[in-house]
Amino acid sequence: MRITLFAALLAVTAPLHAQGLVGGIAVDSATGMRLPCVDVTLEDTTGRAVATTQTTYDGAFMFDAPARGAYRYKFSVWQHLPVVGPTEMLEPSSEKARLYQLVFTIDPQQKIKLWPDTADSPPGAPRDRSRARIRYPSELRQKGIEGTVTVNYAVDSAGFVIGPSLRVISATDPRFEPPVSSYLQDVQLEPARRAGRPSCALILNQPFSFSVKP
């Protein structure tokens, strides 16, 4: 499995060179879906960040192999607690890749500030608010049926949702799903920011509510 994963990792990132390479593929443990736009930090055992990157659209990530020692990966997405992987022994000649099955839980303490108030922020409001509307299914509105759709999706550095990343996690009524999917496929959001620069970002467990109340 490790050889297969490393071959796939090289195919979606960079060719092998003299220095070793380490990394892997991040997947959702519940669905098996590869997770794009996850922030990944290579840390030593004191928690010091040695290098940072993001997973590709195919969930892969890679670092140049570090100096000999013990390291671990920290995986982070907006509004969720980070996940820290197991400690691994690495050295400059290492060539290691593995599958990391991740479970992210919502961080109840995280307080989000959006661009331009902070240089690091998740995707923000739609750039064109006139198009930022989700159609309420008329048959459900007429019957007074309310509901919620919860989705996962990734937003690229231009603010557009990456189509293959869109996944419905739950819906109180399946008829609410198409309007949410259609909206996310059309809208352009203010992109996430890292150090003030536009960045790709993964959004997990985002609810969209439908209410007949004004």
Q: Report whether pLDDT(5) > 80.
A: no
> Do 123 and 190 form a contact (C-beta atoms < 8 A)?
yes
> Do 154 and 162 form a contact (C-beta atoms < 8 A)?
yes
Rounded Cα distance, 53 and 4, in Å:
22
Note whether 62 and 8 are same-domain residues. Answer: yes
CA dihedral sign of residues 40, 44, 48, 50: negative
pLDDT at 14: 45
CATH number assigned to the domain comprising residue 88: 2.60.40.10
pLDDT at 133: 86
Note whether 86 and 138 are same-domain residues. Answer: no
Domain count, the chain: 2
Rounded Cα distance, 88 and 6, in Å:
16
Q: Report whether pLDDT(150) > 70.
A: yes
Q: Which of 62, 83, 102 is the last residue of a domain?
A: 102
pLDDT in tens, 97-130: 999 999 999 999 888 888 888 999 999 999 988 7
Inside any domain, residue 143: yes
Question: Quick one: pLDDT band at residue 75, thresholds 50, 70, 90?
Answer: very high
CATH number assigned to the domain comprising residue 139: 3.30.2420.10
Please report, in angstroms and rounded to a whole number, the separation of the first and last CA atoms in the chain.
54
Write down the pTM of the prediction. 0.87
% of the chain surpassing 70 pLDDT: 91
Note whether 91 and 133 are same-domain residues. Answer: no
Q: Which of 84, 102, 120 is the last residue of a domain?
A: 102
- Domain membership of residue 145 as a residue range: 129-209
For 85-114, the DSSP string reads ---EEE-TT-EEEEEEEE---B-TT-----
